[in-house]
């Protein structure tokens, strides 16, 4: 599903889900993915749930499209409880014992109690479902995820907590580093992922290398490396990595 669509096939005129009106209910809109010809329609406009856009089964999404129904579902999560920096900081820590239910229920009621998104894939999916200039709990989407859409927001580099869509470049076993390339607005930014633990480096490097033809999503606190247009982060947990195939 998507939290925005386009009114035209050229993808020039956007419509955000929160701005949709009753008269829009029967109108076919266009998927944000230019390679996808799914017929998008507004959903949940009259209910208490948040409005969103979904595709009809007869004109569904292309395989691999990030705006399918398997993506972000806004009504299953607590937007007001989401704190971006805290969520990314948590990704750098070792996993604790998880409960079997990702979305807990109120004891004895069977009622679903939504909780904030917290995994890298949930956060990435949320960001992709929104327009990069939109907000999620007051935070600009493009200031959470650097991708081709939001590259214009980073004319002077990338600093602070971010998720970044990256492509493989090379690795250094001696330095325990993986170098990747990310989107930029007319510039080439290099992102260095540094490891303090050799075993973790070997494990992640194997995953990244085997998926070098796919998008590699890394969450971290990015800083200047001291080299021009090159930024770095410390990798401490497997939770900081996702592969988008």
Task: At 71, list the tokens.
Answer: 């993506």
Choosing from 15, 39, 63, the residue where a domain stops is 63
Could you count the other beta carbons within 10 Å of the beta carbon of residue 151? Answer: 20
Q: 């076993």: which residue's tokens? A: 173
What is residue 111's predicted lDDT score, i.e. its pLDDT? 62
Could you count the other beta carbons within 10 Å of the beta carbon of residue 12? Answer: 8
pLDDT in tens, 124-172: 999 999 999 999 999 999 999 999 999 999 999 999 999 999 999 999 9
Rounded Cα distance between 236 and 230, Å, is 20
Task: At 105, list the tokens.
Answer: 């229920």
Q: Does residue 125 fall inside a structural domain?
A: no
| CA distances (Å), origin 12, targets 4, 31, 61, 66 | 12, 12, 20, 19
Q: What is the DSSP letter of 216?
A: E
26-54 core/surface letters (b: 16 or more CB in 10 A; e: else): eeebbbbbeebebbbbbbbbeeeeebbbb
What is residue 103's predicted lDDT score, i.e. its pLDDT? 44
Q: Does residue 101 fall inside a structural domain?
A: no
Contacts of 143 (CB under 8 A, 6+ apart): 150, 153, 162
Contacts of 138 (CB under 8 A, 6+ apart): none
What is residue 48's predicted lDDT score, i.e. its pLDDT? 64
Choosing from 30, 63, 96, the residue where a domain stops is 63
Rounded Cα distance between 239 and 118, Å, is 10
What is residue 100's predicted lDDT score, i.e. its pLDDT? 45
Instruction: Read off the CATH number of the domain in which 201 is found.
Output: 2.40.50.110
How many structural domains compose the chain? 2
Q: Residue 211 is part of which domain span?
A: 157-244
* Residue ranges in the chain modelled with pLDDT below 70: 47-48, 69-70, 95-112
Sheet holding 14-16, edge to edge: 14-16, 4-6, 29-30, 39-43, 52-55
Give the chain's end-to-end CA distance (angstroms, integer). 18
- Burial (CB count <10 Å: 0-12, 13-18, 19+), residue 1: buried
pTM of this structure: 0.87
Q: Does residue 126 fall inside a structural domain?
A: no
Contacts of 228 (CB under 8 A, 6+ apart): none
Q: Does residue 142 fall inside a structural domain?
A: no
Choosing from 63, 85, 101, the residue where a domain stops is 63
């Amino acid at each position: 599903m998507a939290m925005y669509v386009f009114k035209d096939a050229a993808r020039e005129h956007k419509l955000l889900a929160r701005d949709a009106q009753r008269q829009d209910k029967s109108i076919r809109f266009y998927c944000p993915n230019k390679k996808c010809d799914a017929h998008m329609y507004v959903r949940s406009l009259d209910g208490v749930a948040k409005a969103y856009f979904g595709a009809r089964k007869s004109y569904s999404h292309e395989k691999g499209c990030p705006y399918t129904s398997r993506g972000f579902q806004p009504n299953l999560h607590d937007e007001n409880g989401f704190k971006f920096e805290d969520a990314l900081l948590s990704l750098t820590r070792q996993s604790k014992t998880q409960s079997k239910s990702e979305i807990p229920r109120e004891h004895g009621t069977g009622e679903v109690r939504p909780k904030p998104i917290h995994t890298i894939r949930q956060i990435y999916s949320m960001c992709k479902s929104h327009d990069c200039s939109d907000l999620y709990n007051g935070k600009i989407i493009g200031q959470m995820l650097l991708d081709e859409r939001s590259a214009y927001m980073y004319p002077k580099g990338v600093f602070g907590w971010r998720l970044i869509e990256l492509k493989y470049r090379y690795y250094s076993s001696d330095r325990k580093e993986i170098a990747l390339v990310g989107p930029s607005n007319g510039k080439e930014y290099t992102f260095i992922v540094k490891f303090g633990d050799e075993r973790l480096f070997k494990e992640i490097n194997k995953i990244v290398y085997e998926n070098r033809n796919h998008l590699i999503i890394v969450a971290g606190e990015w800083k200047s490396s001291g080299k021009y247009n090159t930024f770095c982060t410390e990798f401490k947990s497997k939770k900081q990595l996702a592969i988008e195939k």
